[in-house]
Every structure is written in C-alpha cells, then in structure tokens.
C-alpha cells in the first residue's frame, strides 16, 4: 500500500524561469517520502515551461501549465491536484530551508490538533542583508490570535514557512478576484476557525524585492476596502471575531493612505486617511500618519 502523503508543497510561478529552479531544488533536497511537489505555471511568457521540463527529466514532481489566471487561481489549481494532509505554498523566488519538513513533522506529531503551523523565515534583501524573523504567539483564543495577526501585527505569517491542514480549504479557497493580498483572507479564515501554533525555527528563505510604486497604486485602487469585507465575511468568520472589523478597516485605510501618499496622489490619500479617522477615531493619535496627512495640504 502506498504511503499516505503528509505534505503537498505547491509552487505557483509566473515568468520566474531564472528563479524557480532554486525554489524547486530547495524542496527536492527535503528528506522523507511523505510529500509531493506541484509546480503550477500560470501562463508564463518566458521560458519557464522549458526550464520546468528540463528539471523534471531527473526529478519527480508534477508540472501544471495553465493560462494566466492570477496567483489566487494558481494556488487553487494546486490545491485541487494535491493529496497531502498539510499544504505548503512556496513562492517561486523563495526557498525552503534545510530540514524544514523535519521541523513540520515533529510539530505535527506533538500537536495533532493544530490546523495551521507558522514557522520563521530569513528575509534576504537585494543588498545581501539577511534578517531572521521568528514568530511569537502569546495567546490561544481564536479572536486573540486573529487580533495578533491583523491588528497588533505581533504575529507575522509568510507563505513558505507555513503549513495549513487540508480541511482549512474545505469551505474556502483563495479569493480569485484579488490579484494580490489573496493570502490575508485565507490566513484570517484559518486563524479564526482552527488552532494555531508557531515553530521558532527558520523554515524558509524569503527574497525581498523593490516594489513598483505604480503597480502598488494600481492594485490598491482595484482592491481598496473590499479586502476588509472579504476578510470578515460573516459566512466564515465567527461572531466573536467580528468586533475586530472596524479597527482592521481603519488600518487598511491607513495603508491605502500611505500607498497613495508615497505615489504623490494626495487627493485619494486624503480620502483614505479621513475614512480611517471616521472608522476608528483613535487613529488620529498615529502621529506619523497625521503629519503626512497635513503635508498633503502643503505643496
């Protein structure tokens, strides 16, 4: 009888032909026979498909080619083809750390009731600087864990060093209407409805890149505050967690304010700042935002 798979590692990739081989090799170096690797090529226009075929000649993993559909749909495709009890999503330009699966195995064995395991990671910057991030979790109630993630920002979650139990996706998948931030509603769903635990080891190497300000502004305009409604859907988020919605909405508005402010779009930035204050008047005491807001009137 074939061994039941414990892990499915899913790598979505789009035009990362020069980077995805490193991500794939970091998975193939993991030990054990209780995992599978699925690489979903989201309609890349570079030579990603060719590179994947070449890698597959000497290595056992699954390749899926699809028309460009966005990161959420790409992850959902991987989920539909996977069979592991726990799902790990690794970005195409990142890497799994050595022995990452061993750390997951140990923690799953010791804490079988946990639905989402959150590991640490090393951020690697273009300058070569490396900064280690190890997660901390001092609360256990779902509402408090969600607050630590969304509001206090004391619990950081990244794809790559995070394993989510399969039943997390039984009634909810990545929202395909979003072209970014699609992981936030999924993490919120997991933290609200399942037990969470942290692994204080670096399980992935996350490569940081300089963001395109224009691209950020465009995506921010498209998504806006609809992210808040997606995160706090009453169909998925328990009633006791709904009390966090107003504060999260205010924080989202401040984030949008900062994005438009940095892009020089002062009219839209002011709208988002004023909405943040209306939603949560305490935001007025965030002085760094207030100073930026006042600057929008001084040209």
Q: Is the pLDDT of residue 232 over 60?
A: yes
Going from N- to C-terminal start, the domains of the chain cover 7-207, 213-295
| Stated pTM of the model | 0.94
Q: Is the pLDDT of residue 1 over 80?
A: no
With beta carbons less than 8 A apart as the criterion, state whether 49 and 35 touch.
Answer: no
pLDDT of residue 218: 84
SS3 category, 49: helix
Residues 6+ apart with CB under 8 A from 120: 132, 133, 134, 135, 161, 198, 199, 200, 201, 202, 203
- Res. 299 pLDDT band, cuts 50 70 90: low
Question: Across residues 55-63, what is the average pLDDT?
Answer: 94
For 121-131, write each residue's pLDDT tens digit. 999 998 889 99
Strand partners, 7: 35, 86
Cα gap 220→248, rounded to integer Å = 16
SS3 category, 75: helix
- Burial of 233 from C-beta contacts in 10 A (0-12 / 13-18 / 19+): middle
Average pLDDT in the chain:
94
Q: Is the pLDDT of residue 211 over 60?
A: no
Q: Is the pLDDT of residue 120 over 80?
A: yes
**Could you name the CATH architecture of 7-207?**
Alpha-Beta Complex (3.90)
Q: What's the angle, vertex CA 57, arms to CA 55 and CA 58, rounded to 5? A: 80
SS3 category, 148: helix
Q: Which of 249, 264, 265, 262 is nearest to 288 (CA)?
A: 262
Q: Is the pLDDT of residue 234 over 90?
A: yes
pLDDT of residue 213: 47
Question: Across residues 224-233, what is the average pLDDT?
Answer: 97
Question: Across residues 219-224, what is the average pLDDT?
Answer: 89
* Residue 26 neighbours by CB distance under 10 Å: 21
Q: Is the pLDDT of residue 81 over 90?
A: yes
For 7-35, write each residue's pLDDT tens digit. 999 999 999 999 999 999 999 999 999 99
For 90-109, write each residue's pLDDT tens digit. 999 999 999 999 999 999 99
pLDDT of residue 215: 55
Question: Across residues 60-80, what is the average pLDDT?
Answer: 97
pLDDT of residue 216: 74
Q: Is the pLDDT of residue 250 over 90?
A: yes
Helix orientation angle between 20-28 and 48-56, rounded to the nearest 10 degrees = 20
Cα gap 95→20, rounded to integer Å = 9
For 141-159, write each residue's pLDDT tens digit. 999 999 999 999 999 999 9
Cα gap 227→62, rounded to integer Å = 32
Strand partners, 244: none
**134-143, 203-212, 252-261: segment of lowest average pLDDT:** 203-212
* Residue 272 neighbours by CB distance under 10 Å: 23
Q: Which of 15, 69, 7 is nearest to 37 (CA)?
A: 7
Cα gap 124→93, rounded to integer Å = 11
pLDDT of residue 201: 97
Q: Is the pLDDT of residue 251 over 50?
A: yes
With beta carbons less than 8 A apart as the criterion, state whether 119 and 224 touch.
Answer: no
């Amino acid at each position: 009888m074939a061994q039941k798979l414990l892990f499915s590692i899913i790598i979505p990739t789009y035009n990362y032909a020069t980077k995805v081989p490193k991500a794939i090799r970091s998975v193939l170096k993991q030990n054990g026979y209780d995992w599978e690797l699925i690489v979903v090529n989201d309609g890349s226009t570079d030579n990603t498909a060719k590179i994947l075929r070449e890698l597959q000649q000497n290595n056992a993993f699954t390749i899926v080619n699809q028309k460009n559909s966005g990161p959420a749909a790409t992850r959902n495709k991987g989920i539909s083809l996977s069979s592991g009890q726990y799902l790990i999503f690794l970005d195409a330009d990142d890497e799994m750390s050595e022995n990452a699966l061993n750390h997951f195995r140990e923690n799953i064995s010791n804490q079988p009731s946990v639905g989402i395991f959150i590991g640490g990671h090393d951020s690697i910057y273009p300058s070569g600087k490396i900064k280690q991030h190890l997660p901390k979790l001092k609360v256990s109630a779902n509402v408090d864990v969600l607050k630590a993630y969304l509001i206090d920002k004391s619990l950081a979650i990244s794809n790559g060093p995070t394993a989510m139990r399969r039943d997390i996706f039984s009634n909810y998948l990545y929202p395909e209407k979003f072209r970014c931030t699609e992981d936030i509603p999924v993490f919120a769903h997991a933290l609200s409805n399942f037990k969470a635990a942290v692994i204080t080891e670096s399980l992935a190497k996350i490569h940081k890149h300089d963001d395109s300000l224009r691209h950020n502004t465009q995506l921010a305009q498209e998504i806006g505050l609809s992210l808040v409604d997606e995160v706090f859907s009453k169909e998925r988020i328990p009633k006791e967690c709904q009390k966090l919605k107003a504060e999260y909405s205010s924080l989202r508005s401040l984030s949008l304010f900062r994005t438009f402010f940095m892009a020089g779009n002062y009219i839209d930035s002011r709208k988002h700042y004023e909405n943040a204050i209306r939603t949560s008047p305490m935001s007025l005491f965030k002085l760094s935002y207030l100073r930026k807001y006042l600057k929008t009137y001084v040209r």
